[in-house]
Amino acid sequence: MLKKWHLFTPGPVPVHPKVLLAGAGPIPHHRLPEFSAVISEIRQDLKYLFQTERPVFFFASSGTGAMEAAVANLFSPGETVLVVRGGKFGERWGEIAETYGLNPIYVDVPWGKAVRPKEVEEKLENHPEIRAVLVQAHETSTGVKHPVRELAEITRSRDVLLVVDAISALGVYPLPMDEWGLDVVVAGSQKSLALPPGLSFIALSEKAWSRVESEGLPRYYFDLRREWKAYEKDTTAYTPAVSLLLSLRESLKHIREMGLERLFAHYSLLSEACREGVLALGLKLFAEEPCEALTVIELPDGVDGGKLNRILREKYGVIFAGGQGKLKGRVVRITHMGDQSPLDVVLALSALEIGLSEMGYPVKMGAGVSRALEYIKEKAREVSA
């Protein structure tokens, strides 16, 4: 039997055929005026998505490239940064900082919990040498949403930057950069932008940009000063990922037409419906403060996540993400990003039910699916009322 693949991983995510086709045509030359017009259009729409009046730069890299660009451009060797470490990607902030010779101080948060703003405030008071707070908008390995707005209220009045990894958060729920006073926001293409992997994005406040001009570690490709000069000419410092940018233009056009409010409501509906279904199955959510981008499910004792994912992938063509690091085998992660509708949540839950059943777990077949459908119907009534 031929399988139809269903992708529920938090990057890559399902990509709409129209977006794929936008990047499948003839390759234009990236230094011609016609492509400068494309870049200009993209940059205006990126400002809308980031909710900022500041420039948004992009690189041909995964989101980690934008994380590295933030560290390389904002700090000097030996400077101290505060890193919120509550999962694999919090660990990544620390690893990049250490690689570049910075002195990271860690706020270690139990996996599954959000950082408490008071912890961050106390660290800043006790360590006045801290130059920035590095944090995830949400930790994709655990599904936890961190209180970014509250952290910005703490850093805004200090000579401290708030650097936010929003790689799988931007465009999923509100993160208004200018309104909240976020100093640096980084993102990636293979998340809510619903593109193939290969593009990263970074935007900086005026406060952060002053560091770029006065500070800095050795950098070449990720040098934001070079990108600024190119930005003013509607081009890029180096050869961009041309096909991906054409797809990006199509994706951003769709986001503009849909509007951020409707986009956020869409992700809220999908994530809430999934969580309702998971709880109806008697399962536990791993995150105490869950985000809207994905649902992380704590597996019952005796159910190995690797084996469950293998059954679903090989027999049914359904691809969930497994746990990372200390969560390997203990959780499954179901994304809601990309080209998905409410009925994709139903499909994911039905796959979860049948997979658990095949592993011998006494799941009540249809319980999760029924509750998700009820929730979707309830919300549809609210919208139409």
Residue stretches of the annotated binding site for substrate: 333
Pairwise CA distance, residues 81 & 97, whole Å: 8
Q: Which amino acid is at 264?
A: F
| Sign of the torsion angle spanned by Cα atoms 131, 137, 142, 147 | positive
d(CA 365, CA 219): 55
CB 58 within 8 A of CB 220: no
d(CA 238, CA 219): 14
CA-wise closest residue to 211 among 255, 159, 153, 283: 159
E strand residue ranges, 2-102: 6-8, 56-59, 80-85
Q: How much is the CA Rg of the chain, to the nearest whole Å? A: 21
Distance CA 236, CA 230 (A): 5
- Tokens 């949400």 found at: 138
Q: Report the SS3 class of residue 16.
A: coil
Please state the φ and ψ torsions of residue 211, each to the nearest 5 degrees. -70, -35
Give the CA angle between residues 43, 173, 288 to the nearest 5°: 145
Look at residues 81, 59, 83, 79 and name the one whose alpha carbon lies nearest to residue 69: 59
Closest C-alpha to 246, from 300, 196, 204, 283: 196
**CA nearest to 295, candidates 279, 307, 308, 313:** 279
CA torsion through residues 291, 293, 299, 305, sign: negative
* Structural tokens at position 303: 């159910």
Enumerate the known binding-site residues. Answer: 333
